[in-house]
């Protein structure tokens, strides 16, 4: 199985750190965010990575190379429309991913045990799975988080402005190739975000939720989030990738 990592966005909320480098290369306790993600993916037993780049993508490719130093093989795909919603970046990988795959965000760090648990699951044809954190009262910046409504193991609704929700989108997915077909369908109709396509699959009953229990993950898209992530990593003893 491959891991597809989205690292195309401009990271405007992490200025000035992203003035001259992509968000994925911002150091977290001395280790770039994407190196932490690569390390977690490798610990979960996956060594085939596809990274979608965009903003200052050449710097990311130069920093990571072919992945050999991390014990993985990295393939790069460039999204020339990197400033648009993230569904476009995911769809760019379609010609290169023909089997079930992990879908990860370059600014979401996580305990590799989450992926180990996720990889034990089976997905049926046309299904996808999203890891969902049900501990909604301990989420940093809940107002900006993408919320989900889960019922009997299936995602029923998703969005930042949901009023009726019982979980948080962690940005960690396992998808079948059918996900690309749904993305293409939505993008042609002007629905460009990843959440738009999750919503479509949810309506069709094909979006499952994998509920996390006491698992560490963190979405780092602001300076405050970066500082808080550093504090939590120190407390958990995870400073080294």
For the segment 145-190, what is each residue's pLDDT rounded down to a tens digit? 899 999 999 999 999 899 999 999 999 999 999 999 999 999 999 9
Write phi, then psi, for 186 (nearest 5 degrees). Answer: -70, -40
- How many other CB atoms are found less than 10 A from the CB of residue 63? 14
User: Could you give the dihedral angle defined by the CA atoms of residues 196, 198, 201 and 207, in that order, rounded to the nearest 10 degrees?
Assistant: -170
Nearest C-alpha neighbor of 192 from the set 4, 9, 2: 9
E-strand ranges in the chain read: 2-7, 27-28, 31-32, 48-53, 73-78, 101-105, 108-110, 128-133, 147-151, 154-159, 167-175, 207-212, 217-219
Label residue 239 by pLDDT band (50, 70, 90). low
Place of tokens 């975000």: 193
Confidence of residue 241 (pLDDT cuts 50, 70, 90): low
How confident is residue 135, by pLDDT bands cut at 50, 70 and 90? confident
Question: What's the pTM?
Answer: 0.93
pLDDT digits (tens, 9 = 90+) for 205-223: 999 999 998 889 999 989 9
Mean pLDDT over each residue of the chain, to the nearest integer: 93
Closest CA to 113 of 218, 230, 215, 237: 215
For residue 140, give the 3-state DSSP assignment.
Answer: coil
Q: Which CATH superfamily is domain 2-236 in?
A: Spore Coat Polysaccharide Biosynthesis Protein SpsA; Chain A (3.90.550.10)
């Amino acid at each position: 199985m491959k891991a597809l990592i989205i690292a195309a966005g401009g990271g405007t909320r992490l200025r000035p750190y992203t003035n001259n480098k992509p968000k994925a290369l911002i150091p977290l306790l001395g280790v770039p965010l994407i190196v932490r993600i690569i390390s977690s993916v490798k610990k979960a037993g996956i060594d085939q990575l596809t990274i979608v780049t965009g903003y200052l993508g050449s710097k990311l490719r130069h920093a990571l190379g072919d992945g050999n130093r991390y014990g993985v093989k990295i393939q790069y795909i460039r999204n020339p429309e990197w400033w648009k919603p993230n569904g476009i970046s995911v769809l760019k990988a379609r010609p290169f991913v023909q089997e079930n795959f992990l879908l990860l965000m370059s600014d979401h760090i996580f305990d590799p045990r989450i992926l180990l648990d996720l990889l034990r699951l089976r997905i049926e044809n046309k299904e996808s799975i999203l890891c969902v954190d049900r501990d909604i009262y301990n989420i940093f910046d809940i107002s900006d988080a993408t919320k989900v409504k889960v019922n009997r193991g299936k995602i029923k609704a998703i969005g930042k402005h949901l009023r009726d929700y019982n979980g948080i989108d962690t940005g960690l997915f396992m998808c079948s190739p059918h996900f690309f077909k749904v993305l293409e369908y939505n993008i042609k109709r002007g629905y460009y975000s990843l959440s738009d396509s999750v919503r479509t699959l949810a309506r069709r009953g094909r979006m499952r939720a994998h509920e996390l229990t006491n698992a560490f993950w963190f979405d780092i898209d602001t300076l405050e989030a970066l500082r808080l992530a550093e504090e939590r990593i120190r407390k958990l003893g995870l400073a080294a990738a």
